[in-house]
Amino acid sequence: MFESTRAGLSRLATGRTVPVWLRRFVRRQDGATAIEFGIVLLPFLSILLMTMETALVFFAQQNLETIAADSARLIMTGQAQNASFDAAKFKSAVCDRVVALFSCSTGMYVDVQKYTSFASISSTVTLDSSGNPVTNYNPGGKNEIVVVRLIYKWPIVSPLTQTYLADAASTTRMLVATAAFRNEPF
């Protein structure tokens, strides 16, 4: 098929000449690793970013649980039962415990309700017509059962992760941290 010539050219059977450098380039396999890396790079980065976002959601959930437990102690010990300590002050106390992950002023919902027994506690979050949680503030009295819920709509950034982490027909995931306890006899 190829005929060699002294000028460093090869001649195809059709009569056209092919430069030697082109023949050498076609035979070389030095760039195969770079091409394979380019093929694997996009799926690798996608999986890496999805893993990082999933880990961040779990970290935020754990952080919210810690904030709920710490804030619930204000109610459990009777510090939040005086007349001047209302829902806004309790939310402010919750927001004081938030370090960096949450936008407390816009996305944090605080729900405090008293119940007659632990068996009567509902685990569902009631939503209004616009999809926001319905919140109350009733810290109860001495020896009463109280549930503190912190609710935050966490934005899911990656479209690939939204399929698995976001709530139905949404780009956010509702993180809910709950603390159920009996108030102390303060």
Secondary structure of 71-112 in HEC code, one letter for each residue: HHHHHHCCCCCCCCCCHHHHHHHHHHHCCCCCCHHHHEEEEE
Are 174 and 91 in contact, with CB atoms under 8 Å apart?
A: no
Q: For residue 100, tell me if it sits in a domain.
A: yes
Higher pLDDT among residues 13 and 89, named by residue: 89
Q: For residue 19, tell me if it sits in a domain.
A: no
Q: For residue 17, tell me if it sits in a domain.
A: no
Q: For residue 8, tell me if it sits in a domain.
A: no
Q: pLDDT category, 47, cuts 50, 70, 90?
A: very high
Q: For residue 66, tell me if it sits in a domain.
A: yes
Q: pLDDT category, 184, cuts 50, 70, 90?
A: very high
Q: pLDDT category, 15, cuts 50, 70, 90?
A: low
- Domain count for the chain, please give it: 1
Q: For residue 13, tell me if it sits in a domain.
A: no
| Per-residue pLDDT tens digits for 128-166 | 998 899 999 999 999 999 999 999 999 999 888 898 999
Q: For residue 171, tell me if it sits in a domain.
A: yes
Give me the domain span that covers residue 84: 32-182
Helix (H/G/I), strand (E/B), else coil: 59: helix
Are 181 and 72 in contact, with CB atoms under 8 Å apart?
A: yes
Q: pLDDT category, 13, cuts 50, 70, 90?
A: low
What are the C-alpha distances in Å from 84 to residues 72, 81, 88, 181?
17, 8, 10, 22
Q: For residue 104, tell me if it sits in a domain.
A: yes
